[in-house]
Amino acid sequence: MDRKVRVGVAGYGTIGQRLADGVALQKDMELVGVADLAPTLAIRALKEKGMPYDLYLVQGADKSKFDELGIPTKGSFDDLLGKVDIMLDSAPGGIGAKNKVLYEKAGVKAIFQGGEKNSVADVFFHGYANYEKGLDKSYLKLTSCNTTGLIRTVDALDRAVGLSKVAITIIRRVADPGDYHRGLTNALQIDKAPSHQAVDLMTIMPHVEATGILVHTPVTHGHIITVLASSKDGSKVTKEKALEVFENHPRIRVVSIDEGFLGNASLFKYARDLGNPRGDMYEIGLWRDSIVESGNDIMYAINIPQESVTIPETIDGIRAAMHMQSTREEGTNKTNEYLNIARWKK
Amino acid sequence: MDRKVRVGVAGYGTIGQRLADGVALQKDMELVGVADLAPTLAIRALKEKGMPYDLYLVQGADKSKFDELGIPTKGSFDDLLGKVDIMLDSAPGGIGAKNKVLYEKAGVKAIFQGGEKNSVADVFFHGYANYEKGLDKSYLKLTSCNTTGLIRTVDALDRAVGLSKVAITIIRRVADPGDYHRGLTNALQIDKAPSHQAVDLMTIMPHVEATGILVHTPVTHGHIITVLASSKDGSKVTKEKALEVFENHPRIRVVSIDEGFLGNASLFKYARDLGNPRGDMYEIGLWRDSIVESGNDIMYAINIPQESVTIPETIDGIRAAMHMQSTREEGTNKTNEYLNIARWKK
Amino acid sequence: MDRKVRVGVAGYGTIGQRLADGVALQKDMELVGVADLAPTLAIRALKEKGMPYDLYLVQGADKSKFDELGIPTKGSFDDLLGKVDIMLDSAPGGIGAKNKVLYEKAGVKAIFQGGEKNSVADVFFHGYANYEKGLDKSYLKLTSCNTTGLIRTVDALDRAVGLSKVAITIIRRVADPGDYHRGLTNALQIDKAPSHQAVDLMTIMPHVEATGILVHTPVTHGHIITVLASSKDGSKVTKEKALEVFENHPRIRVVSIDEGFLGNASLFKYARDLGNPRGDMYEIGLWRDSIVESGNDIMYAINIPQESVTIPETIDGIRAAMHMQSTREEGTNKTNEYLNIARWKK
Amino acid sequence: MDRKVRVGVAGYGTIGQRLADGVALQKDMELVGVADLAPTLAIRALKEKGMPYDLYLVQGADKSKFDELGIPTKGSFDDLLGKVDIMLDSAPGGIGAKNKVLYEKAGVKAIFQGGEKNSVADVFFHGYANYEKGLDKSYLKLTSCNTTGLIRTVDALDRAVGLSKVAITIIRRVADPGDYHRGLTNALQIDKAPSHQAVDLMTIMPHVEATGILVHTPVTHGHIITVLASSKDGSKVTKEKALEVFENHPRIRVVSIDEGFLGNASLFKYARDLGNPRGDMYEIGLWRDSIVESGNDIMYAINIPQESVTIPETIDGIRAAMHMQSTREEGTNKTNEYLNIARWKK
């Protein structure tokens, strides 16, 4: 393809804003516009910033409400679909499935986020674990935030030493900063096991048996997951080997308590101090001082920046679906280059 | 011994108050008194309740402050030591080691809580895991709250199927209700691995390899621990077998999400609704719906009521140190009977 | 009335449990039973305690679910209504209005909690502020938890010095311990002003102008309200006078930071340490060190134990509606006597 | 002065980072460098960003630790002092007083933050309330974050209608995002009244009587203050008048619940969505729907972004101390222009 791939974003919420920002950084893509329903705070901020992205209105939107606030709009959702090659659908869970009918009608590809059912897509996708499965597909579904970050480490270990089994404990942040529609106060909440993230991991990596327990906690700045991984042949996975694998992964940031990374809030603070837009981070954190051996198995803890972690893998998905790069390595490298990922490793 | 065993409590704080309450319920023990340094809220509440326990002052206490408030005192710490067979030391961490000198001088036995170093005691004690090791010993140290609850389950599984290895994730409550001297706000905090609880477990159960990761969370109503246990011979530990083992343990309360036990706060609420003094619970909770198989290993989640969980095992310790009962079964059964534990299982 | 007044409780939730406990302590009342819809944790706890209160099932309840769990029931809601003189309705907001039809049909009186609309009742009631208005009435509605505690102080000041105006800031706890259906995580949330509590105060005390702002905070152990009160004639309300008024009120507990009462969680801890069932407290806390003069006005801060604060005033309501005592003083004194309120002041 | 004013920053923590960023935006100032003691996360982030600011080491710093991490340094604190006209001291509380000796020796001016005692400075400063008092002074001390934001509104009302009295309730966030050295868990904590912010306000605005109560809450994204203000002559301050005053102030952002600003976390989210560096905001938020009349007095609620709110007034302080502009209006306008404040009002 000689021209840039044209991308639209449906749903300008927590994920949609970040997808738009990420696509806008890709030199081989063009962000055609974003679509939403109502003048939310995110849309008001877009206006206050001078409309860096064009705004389209989905069906059901009341244009007069935007007009009253002086928020310019560029047209309807159909108008947007007429101008793009592929849509990133970050509409609320369940809406994506309805939007798919429109995508099919308009003949555009789409990538759905984790809130949709797997059946909405041709392939359940992760940039590092199964890039090639996404090649030329019309409809991809991204793994959810926890699963995306988790798979980065499990896939990397699996490629290095061969894994047969993982058991995870997800210490989940219960809401994003600014969320008022959900919350938990002075309580831990447990879900029925196994957690869906373990089940999802097996869908992406069917040769690995996975299970796990999820506990919600009243915090907003990132999930923490502990992982216990067993090698395929029962041989020992050493702490040194695991650390080497993690340090070589562009989307894993190995940190330590001694450096000052005391928990999920340290990583959020660090991203703000870096000047990252919105205080976001694309990499997961992995604590060097959490890695321990359990017999021949290896155990470690990671931090998942829930708002931004799926952005790189979603952009990988565009590369696969549009066949912009043919291999996992080329695809993820290009995404990393434009998102400025792993600059600190150089 | 024909007469009741005479018990004193040093340090009338969160643990000390509950030790006193627990001992007062034992028909074969006499709570001689409690000792403290200053008129804290706990001491003021004791006075408002009409001094159900006699109060002694430790060295350094300013008696005039108690007099001003009309809080009657019975004498000095030495006076208390002169009247007891055994002291339960729940003084702040490190003070217990200093108190030991006084205990030795007075010729009284003592049981220390988890905040002291292991070297303070002749044996590191758990009522179910090593009761017999405590028999006739002069100085015992109790396992900490998390370790006490954890070992209940690991010891029970070990006796039933034989264990070789456990890997734990501790989702730790960071403060008790009413704590203002420590706290965490909107943050998860990770400790260097392995957690001391895993190391402590190995001290009590040296034939089991244990490791784990601890994450502090900003809640007050109970720790949650996920446990992955492997059998000694590699044979499968089924969900059914594990459940049977847990349901038969007097100090494990098997609960489920469907009943309404959604997390640690549900268990605290339930204990309040039961009318348990202080809303305490001696049993740990174990979620039926958290039990999952990971290959041949078994994984499950437990809830540790941190303020009260060590009370039964400490009283077991009195029984062992004073040789009131000769076996683990007799000792723990007597404690359970007087604490009214497992009444709901009958 | 020569016999005890017979009382039933509809809705055995957070408030209903405490109403039942409170009524059971009144020597001139008989708790006939409690009614609920489903085997909640509270009902399961009732069963585990050996059914100290008889349980009746409201319409729509599935008796087989109770039978399966071995929870004995005594009959239908109608059966209960046939045995009582007055119902305390603590059903979820809005259900009380529906229940009222049943109460009218059965010819029983009722007292509704703050979640119902004022129109459900003949009088909006507060034991100290307008006891006499409740005399012989059939249907009373209690003030909500914040308003009940607030009015204790405002009414007391008003009777002592005459008030014209109050402005309040409510720092609201957002959920109760054990609540999982509502919550807030790392956020303060503001309501549109004026807060309904200020408006409600004016309904009870029409001669006082009241306004205020409410901010929700992510805690569970009690609301804190700051109050700025102005005297009717503009004369100065001194700190000393206010303190004297507060110290003389049986349902106000004057505390101080120096004693160790650092905030709402200290009061909850203290109630647990007192051995109060469920760790409840009927009195509001009022910080001596919060009282400051603002010109001629007086400002102070109070703590509202939201789960239990309305219990005494609801029982006052029974006394008024059933004309058990004719005056505010006699009615509230009798309630206080049986609830053992203000024992510490003697 | 024909050349740019040369500015240094002592202490590159939460405030220091933001002071540096703010000064770097002033076209008539030059940020010479920042100084710190240890390679904190903030310093590591500075390095990862490519050292946009030169780093100097304060006395006691171990240069080898910086060398090991490859963090370039430009010299000692004395070296920095030799190159600047004025220092912004955001060292931890108490260190500023020690640094003052060095500033005097080096003949440089300085502005201290709220953590220092008032006696450290010639004038206690607020850009809007007493700009002229800072003119040509050598040592200024800024008001603390709450006081800075509060005075914006009180000063504005005072200039418009004349005030005699304010009573405030501060609902304080207890820690910043990423803070692990302080925190509060499920508790509100009250300070002895009156709060220092009320006292500080009277130091800056001696003709206004101020008092207030402060309650700490377990959140990180901004304090909320409710203010009750009385006019000098007792005349009515209407809601409309107050709103007009607030809307005309460049550093007050009037927001509403209906727009989606539900609390302090909404304002933080909005600042992130705006793309503001670190998700910061220089303006305070003021809720239109919180403004109510209390008799002739006016009541309202504001949001204080504690990490960044003092930055503009500190830069105003540079303008005053260096006599860059002679009047309050010129000084604050220039700061606002370069910080891009109030762009949304145009």
Model confidence at D2, pLDDT cuts 50, 70, 90, reads confident
Alpha-carbon distance B80 to nearest alpha carbon in chain A (angstroms): 39
**DSSP code, position B131:** G
- Decide if A280 contacts A18 (C-beta within 8 A): yes
A265 in reach of chain C (CB within 8 A): no
Strands, sheet with D139-142, edge to edge from the N-terminal-most edge strand: D75-76, D55-57, D29-36, D5-10, D86-89, D109-112, D139-142, D123-125
Contact between B223 and B173 (Cβ < 8 Å):
yes
Tens digit of each residue's pLDDT (9 = 90 or more) over C248-282? 999 999 999 999 999 999 999 999 999 999 999 99
Q: pTM (2 decimals)?
A: 0.97
B145 labelled catalytic: yes
Q: Which of D45, D265, D275 is closest, CB to CB, to A277? A: D275
Q: Are A185 and C184 an interchain contact pair (Cβ–Cβ within 8 Å)? A: yes
Verify whether the Cβ–Cβ distance B260 to C40 is below 8 Å.
Answer: yes
Q: What contacts C240, CB < 8 A, 6 or more positions away?
A: none
What pLDDT score was predicted for residue A106? 98
A270 chain-D contacts, CB cut-off 8 A: 41, 44-45, 178
Number of H helices, E strands in chain D: 11, 16
Of B145, B205, B281, B311, the active-site residue reads B145
pLDDT digits (tens, 9 = 90+) for D221-279: 999 999 999 999 999 999 999 999 999 999 999 999 999 999 999 999 999 999 999 99
Q: What pLDDT does B93 receive?
A: 87
Tokens of residue A207, six digits: 């040769």
Chain D, nearest residue to B178 by Cα:
D187
Cβ(C157)–Cβ(C129) below 8 Å:
no
Given CB atoms, is D50 within the 8 Å cutoff of chain A? Answer: no
Average of per-residue pLDDT across D306-334: 98
Does the structure's ipTM exceed the value 0.90?
yes
User: Residues of A185-216 as b/e, b for ≥16 C-beta within 10 angstroms?
Assistant: bbbbbbbbbbbbbbebbeebbeebbbbbbbbb
The CA radius of gyration of chain B, in Å to the nearest whole number, is 20
Interface contact A220-C186, CB threshold 8 A = yes
Q: Give the pLDDT confidence score for residue D344 in this predicted structure.
A: 64
The closest of D232, D241, D249 to D328, measured between CA atoms, is D249
Q: What is the pLDDT of residues D263-288, one digit of tens each?
A: 999 999 999 999 999 999 999 999 99
Do A44 and A206 form a contact (C-beta atoms < 8 A)? no
Say whether pLDDT at A116 is over 80: yes
B16: its two tokens: 């000390």
The Cα A20–Cα A14 span in angstroms is 11
Are C228 and D230 inside 8 Å of each other by CB?
A: no
Q: Quickly list H helices, D49-127.
A: 63-68, 77-81, 95-106
Q: Which of B187, B189, B193 sits opposite A290 (nearest CB)?
A: B193
Q: Does the beta-carbon distance from A274 to D49 stay under 8 Å?
A: yes
Instruction: Identify the pLDDT of residue B250.
Output: 97
D199 touches chain C (CB under 8 A): no
Please name which of C120, C121, C140, C139 lies closest in space to residue C129, comparing C-alpha atoms. Answer: C140
B172-176, C341-345, D37-41, D331-335: range with lowest mean pLDDT? C341-345
| D272 and A CB contact within 8 Å | yes
pLDDT digits (tens, 9 = 90+) for D29-48: 999 999 999 999 999 999 99
Report how far residue A36's alpha carbon sits from residue B213's, in angstroms, rounded to the nearest whole number: 42
Interface test with B, best of C36, C47, C269 (most B CBs within 10 A): C269
Neighbours of C254 (CB within 10 A): 19
- Here the tokens at position A8 are 């639209």
Q: List CB contacts (< 8 A) between B42 and chain C.
A: 273
Q: Which of A123, A145, A163, A208 is catalytic?
A: A145
- Within 8 A of C18 by CB-CB distance, chain B residues are none
User: Which residue blocks in D262-302 are alpha helix, DSSP H?
Assistant: 264-273
> Is D218 in contact with B186 (Cβ distance < 8 A)?
yes
Report the pLDDT averaged over residues A263-268: 98
Is the CB of residue B263 less than 8 Å away from at least one CB of chain D? no
Cβ of C265 within 8 Å of Cβ of D186? The answer is yes
**Residue-wise pLDDT tens for chain B (346 aa)?**
679 999 999 999 999 999 999 999 999 999 999 999 999 999 999 999 999 999 999 999 999 999 999 999 999 999 999 999 999 999 998 899 999 999 999 999 999 998 889 999 999 999 999 999 999 999 999 999 999 999 999 999 999 999 999 999 999 999 999 999 999 999 999 999 999 999 999 999 999 999 999 999 999 999 999 999 999 999 999 999 999 999 999 999 999 999 999 999 999 999 999 999 999 999 999 999 999 999 999 999 999 999 999 999 999 999 999 999 999 999 999 999 999 997 667 5
Share of chain D above pLDDT 70, in %: 99
Question: What is the sign of the dihedral through the CA atoms of D61, D64, D69 and D70?
Answer: positive
Q: Does B269 touch chain A (CB under 8 A)?
A: no
**Do B325 and B295 touch, CB atoms closer than 8 A?**
no
* Pairing mode, strands A297-304 and A284-287: antiparallel
Mutation for testing the D interface, residue in B185, B188, B216 having most D CBs under 10 Å: B185
- Provide, rounded to the nearest whole percent, the portion of chain C with pLDDT above 90: 96
